[in-house]
Amino acid sequence: MASYKAPRRDMRFVYYELHDGERLAQLPGYEEATPDMIEAILEEAAKIAENVLQPLNRTGDEEGCAFENGTVRTPAGFKEAYTTFAQGGWTSLGGDPQYGGQGLPSALSVLVSEMLLSANLSLAMYPGLGEGACHALEAHGSDELKQMFLPKLMDGTWGGTMCLTEAQCGTDLGLIRSKAEPREDGTYLINGTKTFISAGDHDLTENIIHLVLARLPDAPRGIKGISMFLVPKFTIPADGTLGSNNGVSCGGIEHKMGIRGSSTCVLNFDDAVGYLVGVPNKGMRAMFTMMNSARLGVGVQGLALAEASYQGAVEYARERLQGRALNGAQLPNKPADPILVHPDVRRMLLTIRAYTEGARALTMWVAQEIDLAHKHPDPRRRRDADDLASLLTPVVKAFQTDTGFECTNLGLQVFGGHGYIREHGMEQYVRDSRIAMIYEGTNGIQALDLVGRKLAAHTGRYLRQFFHPVQEFLVAHAEDSALEDFIQPLAKAFGRLQRATGHIAQQGLKNPNEAGAAATDYLRLFGLVALAYQWTRMAGISLEKMEGDTSGFYAAKVATGRFYMERILPQSGAAFATLMAGAKTIMEFPDEAF
């Protein structure tokens, strides 16, 4: 079975050397996020991931969740592992200290999350959903709701979910039918059925706090008539103890291709008592706080599984003896050479590595900007940081899950036939990674969000937070001969992205189908350029530090970056040509011919 070791050296590189993470400790509330503190947390998180979660990854997949007598049982060992995780304080890293959180940066939480997801995606999803519920409540809940629910959500005693999807609606949430009837005491009776609810029922926590979208009796039709309600699985009497079942029941669990240790439930709400979160009929605004957090988290899932697949594939490539190197035997005293010598195996491994390290760098940029958006004392800097995070969220979610799936398939391919069977664990990474392209908004929806909302927002203000830094970097390093192999390819790809942006803005105004037809290729182009920018910056730092580095870390960083610029970034030309072809061949194909 594939093993996993947390890539702490690379995490420290992107956190500190690439993105200057020390500045976060200067922000109000983050003073304790010193290098010593960060390193200690990463070290302990690695132990939890490697020694507690990872050993349950394959067994959890094989056993899956069970639906018995109306309740869900998680795989053997999950409850004990979750308890160890929660008791160690890992559910509260980024939470508000006044409710029991540790108040540490989101950027740190992202690195810890990556470790956990690499080790055991199914198990790591449970606390991840609780964290998302905390974000939504912190941003939109009343003081009373915060006091009642946040402490136990943050310490992991209670779990959380978000309940959006219904049988007749997934992306089109304006079709929601769940209803909320107001009561005289200010609470609401929630009735309806939700489907595909991750962690909707399980045996890991004492209670589960559901954030549910539903309609008030006088709500407007469509998306503008949705409110968000907090609905606990069990009632909570005045003394804070657990009461009876609150009219929430699990109607069944989905039998899935992957993430089989994560329960995906049909939930029935029958006169369940709920509490309004935020403003009536503005539930989507409140839910988007949790959804945006989840979309970034899903982007990290793509990165995390690519990393796990890479580690398994490299280990196998070093040990598996098959054939001889094309330029002559490398190990003549053995019956064959390790497959690591073969060009195509090296191509696959370097592709995974280039995507993974680039995605980690991009994710950390966004995560640190989120911290700045929350904590920076300058309102303009907060706004700029939020603009960049908003722009790049669909890119992180879609591009990193697309490439994560590509990478897990490549990792399996390195194993050949041995990758296709269960014992080595590689096929599980492929199955697990596939869902990330679907949930929290399919990647096609992310692309539409990018071209339909983010590009036009505030007359292009979001775009400036990405385009300006890239342009300034290119100008500043135009004469840097050491970076020539990076600057020129980045400049060409960035030029394509600029032209594509103008084309979509112009053509989309004339015909929305033009923007829709270009959206997926445009997001791919954006992702390729975003990683190229990160790789160019990483190469610049590494070139300065290579001399005297006996570990080989910086030399490997530069070499991986060169591979990205030469072997992956050229895809930007194909994406550009495809999106510029227009919508005609897509939209004029006769419906009856499908």
Contact 302, 433 (CB under 8 A): yes
Structure-token pair, residue 73: 């049982």
CA 469 to chain centre: 24
- Told to judge if 315 belongs to the known catalytic residues of this protein, a careful annotator would answer no
Instruction: For tokens 């549910």, name the residue.
Output: 212
Write out the H or E segment, with its range, that includes residue 158.
Answer: strand 158-163
The answer to whether the CB of 71 falls within 8 A of the CB of 203 is yes
Residue 339 to residues 136, 344, 345, 483, 565, Cα–Cα distance (Å) = 49, 9, 7, 32, 25
Amino acid found at 129: L
Q: Give the single-character DSSP code of 204.
A: S
Residue 362 corresponds to which tokens in the numbers above?
Answer: 């991009």
- DSSP annotation of 28 reads T
Radius of gyration for the alpha carbons in the chain, expressed in angstroms and rounded: 24
Catalytic residue among 406, 440, 547, 588: 440
As a whole number of angstroms, the distance between CA 508 and CA 460 comes to: 14
- Rounded alpha-carbon distances, angstroms, from residue 555 to 340, 356, 541: 19, 17, 11
Of the candidates 163, 174, 97, 159, the residue with the CA atom closest to the CA atom of residue 128:
159
Which runs of E-coded beta strand occur in 438-569?
Answer: none
- Residue 545: helix, strand or coil by DSSP? helix
What are the C-alpha distances in Å from 503 to residues 448, 468, 506, 529? 15, 19, 5, 17
**What is the rounded distance in angstroms from the CA atom of residue 348 to the CA atom of residue 49?**
26
Nearest in space to 438 (alpha carbons), one of 409, 411, 404, 410: 404
Euclidean distance between CA atoms 482 and 493, whole angstroms:
19
Give, to the nearest 10 degrees, the angle between helix 35-48 and helix 106-119: 20
Q: Are 513 and 587 in contact (CB under 8 A)?
A: yes
Identify residue 118 by its one-letter amino acid code. Answer: S
Active-site positions read 440
